[in-house]
Amino acid sequence: MSGSPDTSERAAAAANRRTLALFAGLVVLVGLLVWPSVVDRLHYARTRAELRALRDAAAIAELTSVGKIFTTLARRIGPSVVNVTSKRRLLTVADEIAALRGLAPVGVTDEQVGSGVITRADGVIVTNYHVVANSEVIDVALVDGRRFRAELVGADAATDLAVLQIEASSLPNADWSDSDDVEVGQMVWAIGNPFGLDRTLTYGIVSAVGRRGVLESPYQEFLQTDAAINPGNSGGPLVDVHGRVVGITTAIVGKDYSGIGFAIPSNVARQVSEEILRSGHVERGYLGLALRATPRGSPGVEVAGVEPRSPAAAAGIRPGDVILRFDGDAVEEPAEFVLLLTRAAVGTTVTLDVVRDGKEREIAVEVGRRPRDD
């Protein structure tokens, strides 16, 4: 006996509902399995798009601005950097023989090439003393191709600085910066003529400040940098991000670049050059003290001796005194005391904080003038 048409339709409808339910369940199951992957892909695509946008923006804005720092610096400081060539005649054995025989000397010329920086628009140039020492002729080449015979205004061997003058005006001069504000890690640029390659620009960071003991002179204290400095850079400027001179490059470790170079701080270079322009030489303070280091861990420096009729003797300083401070600045080693003394003007009165017989006292002493042959 066959079922009624209504019964058949209800069975077919139930079968369709089960099929639809099964299909929906499969869709949900597939969705649950696939959706996380789809979400991840969408998130990755969005993140990748954001990173690409950031990269493109950085390439257009930040990297471009960083690149402009270098080009702007080169344009700003480059015109004030000069090539300095000094020549001196060397006496050889052949010259001595010729002189004994009444003949004209053979003549051998030694040539030294270095750099310099224009510090005044009227032709004042600062360079290293060792670049122009004992020279008979000093030539200066400007960025515009002009060449001048330079006059040596004066020099200071103790700080390895010299001042030149050329007959020119309206020159592009560099500005001084305050080297006391320089910090380790600060970016700096060196520009000069290494190996005769005019106005080569290199950059790095300040590796150390107040570096003493690099050379034998007690009057020298350096900025250390890893900016590439090579023979020929001597006398050129070390500049900050604003293109202002923070130092005068002067020495390297080894014969060429090894990542360790030194520059005379701008405050020293500026003070010395201005004094040379005023008087032709540098006057240094003098107290008449012989100093030695105190035992490790003990503050100050010990007075080992006092010259008779010296400012120190007149002030009553005695051997065995321990000097803790020079005019308020703490002193930890003899070289530091000497540097502080060189910054004190001749004729001024400074205060030394001294320990004697276990008691601390203040002694006022007038800074004298160091003998010129000292």
Q: Are residues 272 and 187 in the same domain?
A: yes
Whether 42 shows a pLDDT value over 70: the answer reads no
Q: What is the pLDDT of residue 297?
A: 82
Same domain for 241 and 265, yes or no, is yes
Asked if 47 and 28 sit in the same domain, the reply is yes
Share of the chain above pLDDT 70, in %: 76
Does residue 73 sit within a domain? no
66 domain residue, yes or no:
no
- The reply to whether 317 and 292 lie within a common domain is yes
Q: Report pLDDT digits (tens) over 140-186.
A: 999 988 999 999 999 998 889 999 999 999 999 999 999 999 999 99
Q: How far apart are the first and last CA of the chain?
A: 138
Q: Indicate whether 71 belongs to any domain.
A: no
Q: Is the pLDDT of residue 122 over 50?
A: yes
Calpha distance 340→303 (Å, rounded):
16
Q: What is the secondary structure of 239-296 as a DSSP string?
A: E-TTS-EEEEEEEESSSS-SS-EEEEEHHHHHHHHHHHHHHSS---EE--EEEEEPST
What percent of the chain stands above pLDDT 90?
Answer: 48
Strand partners, 289: 306
Q: Report yes or no on 271 lying in a domain.
A: yes
Contacts of 313 (CB under 8 A, 6+ apart): 288, 306, 307
Higher pLDDT, 318 or 335: 318
What one-letter code names the amino acid at 137?
Answer: V
Query: pLDDT higher for 136 or 66?
Result: 136
pLDDT greater than 70 at residue 320: yes
The C-alpha atoms of residue 321 and residue 292 are separated, in whole angstroms, by: 11
pLDDT over 80 (residue 97) = no
Q: Are residues 156 and 183 in the same domain?
A: no
Q: Of 239, 256, 279, which one is at a domain's C-terminal end?
A: 279
- φ and ψ at residue 365, rounded to 5 degrees: -140, 140
For residue 365, the model assigns a pLDDT of 96
> pLDDT grade, residue 329 (50/70/90)?
very high
Please check whether residue 220 lies inside any domain of the structure. yes
The one-character DSSP state at 196 is G
Name the residue among 165, 182, 160 with its Cα closest to residue 235. 160
* 65 occurs within a structural domain: no
Residues marked active site are found at 130, 160, 234
CA distance 316 to 289: 12
For residue 191, the enclosing domain spans: 179-279
Which of 253, 279, 305 is the last residue before a domain boundary? 279
Domains: count for the chain: 4
What pLDDT, on the 0 to 100 scale, is given for residue 112? 85
> Are 126 and 214 within one domain?
no
CA distances from 335 to 196, 213, 286, 345, 346 (A): 35, 9, 14, 18, 19
One domain, residues 55 and 111: no
Enumerate helices (H) and strands (E) in the chain, giving the number of each: 7, 21
Q: How confident is the model at residue 200 (pLDDT cuts 50, 70, 90)?
A: confident
Residue 70 lies in a domain: no
CATH number of the domain to which 233 belongs: 2.40.10.10
Transcribe 30-94 into DSSP letters: HHHHHHHHHHHHHHHHHHHHHHHHHHHHHHHTHHHHHHHHHHHHHHHHGGGEEEEEEEEEEP-HH
Domain boundary among 105, 139, 165: 165
Per-residue pLDDT reduced to its tens digit, 208-251: 998 877 776 777 889 999 998 888 889 999 999 889 999 999 87
Same domain for 220 and 150?
Answer: no
Weakest-pLDDT range from 88-97, 231-240, 363-372: 88-97
60-68 average pLDDT score: 61
Q: Which backbone phi and psi does 126 adopt, to 5 degrees?
A: -105, 135
Is the pLDDT at 10 greater than 60? The verdict is yes
Q: What is the pLDDT of residue 374?
A: 45
* Of residues 51 and 288, more confidently modeled: 288
Do 101 and 139 belong together in one domain? yes
Q: Is the pLDDT of residue 94 over 80?
A: no
Is 198 contained in some domain?
yes
Mean pLDDT of the chain: 83
Report pLDDT for 211: 86
The reply to whether 105 and 153 lie within a common domain is yes
Specify which residues 86 forms β-bridges with.
112, 138
Tell me the three state secondary structure of residue 340: helix
Least confident range of 4-13, 308-317, 327-336: 4-13
Whether the predicted pLDDT of 131 surpasses 90: yes
Q: What is the DSSP letter of 314?
A: H
| b/e burial code for range 186-199 (CB count within 10 A of at least 16 → b) | eebbbbbbbeeebb
Please compute the mean of the pLDDT values over residues 71-78 and round it to a whole number.
84
Predicted TM-score of the model (pTM): 0.72
Residue 1's pLDDT band (cuts 50, 70, 90): very low
